[in-house]
Amino acid sequence: MPVLNVAIAGFGTIGSGVAHVLAQHSEHPDAKINLAGILERDTQGKFVRSWFEKNPELFYESPEKLLEDPEVDVIVETIGGNGFARELITKALQNGKHVITANKDLIAVHGAELIEVAQENGRHLLFEAAVAGAIPVLRLLKDYLQVQDIQGIRAILNGTTNYILSEMETNDLSFEEALSQAQDLGFAEQDPTNDIKGIDARYKLVILTYLITGQWFAPEQIALEGIDHLELADFEYAERMGRRIKLIANLRLSAQEGVQVYVLPLMIEKNDILAKIAGSTNAVTLTGKYAEDITLIGKGAGSLPTASAIVSDLNKVQSHPEPFPPPAASRKLAIESMDEINFRHTLRFEVRDHPGIFGHYGKIFERLSINIYALEQLPQYHRIGKEGEETVIFTLTLQNCKEGLVQKALEEINQADYMLKPVVLLREIV
């Protein structure tokens, strides 16, 4: 087998991790993958400086030099973003080079067009590292689909949010305290928006959905809710119900040419395997038509786990230089409206103490044919305001009903003058 010459574009945390793994692999006498070049503008950065000092000949003066290098077989893109990275990948494929990337944002938004470019030029475009780090979920899906129809996925795809939720539950930290701790430990970025709002998990779910259905959905088509509105009262309620709160990326195929797909904080039973996933760990549960659930667990981020997934893709290119066809879209699927999906809903209210509140709620729910299952006050969270006015916090659990009905009720309830905050909604899959 010929040696595969690899160039790395972008030499930050991930790029340097790939170089480290390749350097170790090169020490093996049968090594068939060679680091042939590095594209990095800032040669004095903390990850790149030592490499530049020891091996300056590896560094390209410009992207054009890299793209024109006939010795380079594969470009590993670890730049990130949707601008320059997209342009570089497109030109690399057009110049006859395979491309491997961990850029989930780019693949989720522009995957369809980039895969088309790869197919037109007979090149690989691989992105195992874009979802769940070192967990080989994409590889498993590609192979597993040959013998098994996947009916659904439930997954924890963001280590930052899982760490925050775990700390809030286990150590009674507020959201702000848990986020700050995650940032101090390097689990969360200084700007954590993509994590805590669920955007990162949604990008990954777009990619998983494509591999299962053969269809690309735009990220904005997937319903989304983050975790930054959750409070300790929510975890206390979940504990009493024998549940844990996790940010779940969910996909479920239906028999009516539809698919349920969303990223939401959900209450799940403590004996569910995903409920046991703590800290920054990721997990993916695949549900098959004929087999029992399969769950993959592992590190979803970090330099070396991500690098490991990238090197796995390099090995695939090395052993199979001809690209595999994209997954076939056997049927045209439509995303089911969230309004039509049934959940068990628990609503947390924070209100001014006011007569007639429960009667008001009752009339709204009755008009919408929503049945109340349970009411629970949370006196430990009640507060007395500056003017002696009491703040009352309580939960209402509803019988299983459609999301759209609950949202209609909340539109009216949240307008009431005794409401101090919008209602916080916790859901459970039924």
State how far the Cα of 59 lies from the Cα of 103, in Å rounded to an integer: 22
| Kind plus residue range of the DSSP H or E element containing 372 | strand 372-377
CA 61 to chain centre: 35
State how far the Cα of 222 lies from the Cα of 55, in Å rounded to an integer: 45
State how far the Cα of 130 lies from the Cα of 122, in Å rounded to an integer: 22
- Over the Cα atoms of the chain, what is R_g? 25
Pairing verdict, β 125-126 and 98-101: parallel
Where in the sequence numbering do the catalytic residues fall?
A: 204
State how far the Cα of 337 lies from the Cα of 156, in Å rounded to an integer: 22
State how far the Cα of 288 lies from the Cα of 280, in Å rounded to an integer: 26
Environment class of 147 (CB within 10 Å of its CB; exposed 0-12, middle 13-18, buried 19+): exposed
Which residues does residue 34 pair with via DSSP β-bridges, in sequence order? 5
Environment class of 427 (CB within 10 Å of its CB; exposed 0-12, middle 13-18, buried 19+): buried
**Phi and psi (nearest 5°) for 367?**
-60, -30
Pairing verdict, β 424-429 and 383-384: unpaired
Pairing verdict, β 342-352 and 390-398: antiparallel
Structure tokens at 48: 């790149």
| Kind plus residue range of the DSSP H or E element containing 424 | strand 424-429
Which residues does residue 246 pair with via DSSP β-bridges, in sequence order? 266
Residue 89 · residue 10 · CB < 8 Å: no
Pairing verdict, β 150-156 and 281-288: antiparallel
Taking the alpha carbons at both ends of the chain, their separation in whole angstroms is: 52
Which residue, chain included where needed, has tokens 């024109």?
Answer: 68
Residue 199 half-sphere exposure toward CB, CA atoms < 13 A: 10
DSSP 386: T
